[in-house]
Structure 1
Amino acid sequence: MELMSVSEFTTTQRSQMLAMARNAITAVLNAERPDLPSVDALPDWLKPIRACFVTLESHDRLRGCIGTLEPHRPLGQDIILNAVSAATRDYRFDPLQRGELIRVSLSVLSPLTPLSVSSEAELVAVLQPEVDGVVLEAGEHRATFLPVVWQSLSTPEAFISELKRKAGLPGDYWSDNVRIWRYHTDSFGEEGEMPVVETGTR
């Protein structure tokens, strides 16, 4: 399945954002402080308050993924800080090591849009496979799947069932306190895997 992405950035801008993420990871693995530019130092297109996710893959498997759902800082800063967190603070994985091969990808989120649905059947009917990212919340349980997850969970039923499990709920759970939001992303990544830092170099 080829993921459908809502494109809003030029090829040059995408390359610059990916380079920012990789440079931040390189710096932190070299025990250096990543360069976090001030708002004034950012180009205009990176100044808006936006949310993004940074995903790292190694040997075609997930190696780290950290992001923000609610925008609270300029996009340029969000990219850098989420890249560092994906490399060092994703609790599911050991911190990234120098010399590892990784592929960096980014997903820049649109604003979250609440969905008014009263049943899982209604939710399944309105979801757009390959396009929608979804946030599910029920009490203290909350989780999201980026649109890229449609590549492995191709039906709305499977997508929502696994999202509930990710939130710590049974796959068949539903109640009146379930709240749903959806969003779209501009998603893009590097062409292939490359070492973050060549082993033995500084």
Structure 2
Amino acid sequence: MPDLGNALLALARNAIAGHFGQAAVDVADRPELHEPGATFVTLTRHGQLRGCIGSLEAWRPLGQDVRDNALAAAFRDPRFAPLTAGELPSIRVEVSLLTPPEPMSFADEADALAQLHPDIDGVILTAGRRRATFLPQVWEQLPAPAGFIAHLKQKAGLPADYWGPDVRLERYAVRKWKEAQP
């Protein structure tokens, strides 16, 4: 569905550009945009992460989810200062459309690691009140399952070597679209 991807990328860029009072490009209305959808919007600048915010579960219309996550990635990602108008031309937008998360069953950490599919699985880790996710794209930087999960635990605020009976893992896949390099 390349047309869907183009529409999602345009909606994300329009939301950010609109924040700066810039004109929007036309986006054809598509039925999928009105169905519930869960997305992550990732912004990069010169190949470096500049913001990434998303939804793990579909709870609002896909078009609204993309617009809201684009604005959050640009202006409310706590890891970065808000995007400036001067940065916008050099920002590359990527939209990931998530499948519903599926719980994983495993006996221990080794069993969980053996079940992971690098480059395919996005993973949600929950332990007590702590929760974090990595999109499948993170496998590019962390290709070994043990390293992937260790960093995910740290993202959740846990020690890299933590494992306990409260650990839950869910996996999901994504369809992703990325703008051409600015």
**TM-score normalised by structure 2 residue count:** 0.93
Q: Residues 93-128 of structure 1: CA distance to partner in whole angstroms, max 9, x if unpaired?
A: 000001211000010000000001131101110000
Q: How far apart are the structure 1 equivalents of 2:7 and 2:38? A: 17
Percent identity of paired positions between Structure 1 and Structure 2: 49
The yes-or-no answer on 1:17 pairing with 2:8 is: yes
Q: Distance in 1 between matches of 2:29 and 2:3?
A: 15
Rounded Cα–Cα distance in structure 2 between residues aligned with 1:51 and 1:45:
12
Residues matched between the structures, number: 177
What TM-score, normalized to structure 1? 0.84
Question: Quick check: 1:167 aligned with 2:150?
Answer: no
Kindly report which structure 2 residues correspond to 1:146-185, keeping only aligned pairs within 5 A, or say none: 146-185=135-174
The aligned residue for residue 96 of structure 1 is 83
Q: Tell me how far apart the structure 2 counterparts of residues 71 and 12 of structure 1 sit (CA, whole Å).
A: 20
- Unmatched runs of 5 consecutive residues or more in structure 2: none
Higher share in helix: 2
Separation in structure 2 between the aligned mates of residue 152 and residue 80 of structure 1, nearest angstrom: 27
Deviations 1:151-180 (A, max 9, x none): 000010110000000000011100011011
- The runs of 5 or more residues in structure 1 that have no matched partner are 1-9, 35-40, 194-202
SS in 1 for 2:111: helix
Q: Tell me the amino acid that sits aligned with residue 190 of structure 1.
A: E
**What is the CA RMSD across the aligned residues, in angstroms?**
1.6
Alignment partner, residue 58 of structure 1: 45
1-side partners of 2:55 and 2:8: how far apart?
16
Residues 57, 102 of structure 1: 8 Å contact kept: yes
CA distance in 2, matches of 1:31, 1:96: 14
Q: Match for residue 37 of structure 1? A: none
Which of 147, 170, 187 is the aligned partner of 2:176? Answer: 187
Alpha-carbon shift at residue 31 of structure 1 (Å): 8.7
For 1:200, the equivalent position in structure 2 comes to: none
Matching residue's letter, 1:15: N
